[in-house]
Amino acid sequence: MTRTPVATPSKEHMQGFLKIEGLSKTFTPGRPVFADVSFSISKGEFVCIIGHSGCGKTTILNVLAGLDSASAGHVFMDQREIGGPSLERGVVFQSHALMPWLTVRKNIAFAVISRWPDWTAAQVNAHVEKFVAMVGLSAAIDKKPSQLSGGMKQRVGIARAFAIQPKMLLLDEPFGALDALTRGTIQDELMAIVRETQQTVFMITHDVDEAILLADRILLMSNGTDNEGVYAPGRIAEEVINPLPRERSRAGLHHLPGYYDLRNHIVDFLVTRAKAH
């Protein structure tokens, strides 16, 4: 069996567009959820993080989004330290977070106007229609969220995040509540948009195949554990480079040489080394 390549952070990564240095989060004194988390993401790179519930993945994403603060460490984007939410970072959560009283058009326009307050109504509308078309929802643009399926609502959330043209896209299990068919369709759409826009993405997922399909690099995160009375906090245990061709598709994924080695490596980590509570 060919060993899955494990990344030694390159000079490019260490000088990356996004840099996380010595991040930790503590709720209970002496027992940080995670500690000394350091990694970087290059511009245009798609990075997924995988780990069991409770390891701190969402906390890391919330710190990157500026929605939470770390107990220690620093996060820099474009050589500036992150300190609070910003339109430079678009966030898509598992729940769509749409305003129910607004149509698809107006939900996205609200974000666009926040980003470009000096734009005319015609400029805003043209921009909104472009990104609604990108996620295949032009026919539903004047419907309210109550008239949409779960998958359609998530498409709106994705369109809204892309429409503000953020420097960084943060995705927290955005497809976790969707059925398999819808999930697969939106994965394909997301991948196509990311490739087209060269968007930098950090994504949380529990789905190994989703990470393999989408990510250039996969971070494997372990949970905090007690071992003979000694507590070890959660951490990034391993960085795995995805060796598969970047122009891959969901339908052809399992036919690619190296796919099963990569998948088995990640599953083995989750089963034997991530040490979930």
Report pLDDT for 2. Answer: 36
Question: 72: Cβ–Cβ under 8 A, 6 or more apart, which residues?
Answer: 22, 23, 24, 35
Using only the alpha carbons of the chain, give its radius of gyration.
Answer: 19
Torsion over CA: 68, 69, 75, 79 (sign): positive
Q: What are the pLDDT digits (tens) for 181-236? A: 778 888 888 888 888 888 999 999 989 999 999 999 999 999 988 887 888 899 99
CA distance 174 to 155: 10
Average pLDDT over residues 80-100: 87
pTM: 0.87
N- to C-terminal Cα separation, the chain = 30
Is the pLDDT at 6 greater than 50, yes or no? Answer: no
Is the pLDDT at 277 greater than 80, yes or no? Answer: no
The pLDDT-based confidence of 38 (bands split at 50, 70, 90) is very high
**Sheet strand arrangement including 18-25:** 34-41, 18-25, 72-77, 80-81
Please, what is the average pLDDT of the chain?
88
